[in-house]
Amino acid sequence: MTAIDHLDEVRARLARARKVFILTGAGVSAESGIPTFRGPEGYWKKHPPEQLASPEGFARDPKLVWEWYNYRRRLIAGCEPNAAHRAVAEIERRIAQFLLCTQNVDGLHQRAGSRNVVEIHGSIWRVRRADGTGPSVENRTIFEDTELPLRAADGALLRPDVVWFGETLPAEAFARVDAFLATGPVDLAFVIGTSAVFPYIIRWAAIPKHQGAMVVELNPSPSLPAELVTICWPHKAGDILPCLLERE
């Protein structure tokens, strides 16, 4: 095990912290066997995102899009939460005011025991009508390709309740993160396994930093602007987070 810089400092801050915010991306699920989006093995290397994750792509070929999401459902259903998901859930148990905002749609944080979770890009385990009417409903079926695209009883197209490129974020989820950050300063924030390509992700790292929080980025290829990061751990999440929770 390589030495982890500033581990004692982060442990001490965590021990005293009353309010902790965690932002995660695909990297936190990588050690569970779920591919990330960017990088050499990422989904977007093999598939154009506008084809598989945009309203236009869905309108053009809903079956293709559904097949991709169904493939990912099957993959995710066969994966387990890893040490990083479990550590995030344990941090929540220790902290009075806690929020986890994940860009992941896989539900692995919840399976590991996380409760205060905002799924800012939706969930692969929910569906809604593509025409924008009606509620989002849980649906955990792995389909046969012949059943796709999925349709409601009246024949209307259903779609995964995830956020696609060019779409706005779910307003309630967005407001929940903003409200958490607006009500008193965060003591400690972790940004884990995200390439932080979206302005709102950078903003949600910047707010705690400006409030005086210790901001820890955990990513083998760190991506946040250096001025937003107090401590950078260029490592895999599952190697590091459990060490944080070990008793000295």
Binding site for ligand OAD (CB under 6 A): 25-27, 30-31, 36-39, 42, 49, 53, 103, 121, 163-165, 192-195, 218-221, 223, 236-237
What is the 3-class SS of 120-151, one letter each residue? CCEEEEEEEECCCCCCCEECCCCCCHHHCCCE
Q: Which is nearer to ligand OAD, 59 or 156 (CB)?
A: 59
CB of 184 to ligand OAD, least distance (A): 27
Residue 121: active-site member: yes
Shortest distance in whole angstroms from residue 122 CB to ligand OAD: 8
Rounded to the nearest whole angstrom, what is the least distance from the CB of residue 172 to ligand OAD in the complex? Answer: 17
Rounded to a whole number, what is the distance in angstroms from the first to the last CA of the chain? Answer: 16
- CA–CA dist 224, 153 (Å, integer): 45
Indicate the residue among 19 and 162 with the shorter CB distance to ligand OAD: 162
Distance, CA of 129 to CA of 5 (rounded, Å): 48
Instruction: Give the three-class secondary structure for 35.
Output: coil
Nearer to ligand OAD, 71 or 165 (CB): 165
**Active-site option among 85, 121, 210, 235:** 121
Residue least distant from ligand OAD (Cβ): 27
State the Cα–Cα distance between residues 28 and 31, nearest whole angstrom. 7
Q: Active-site residue numbers?
A: 121
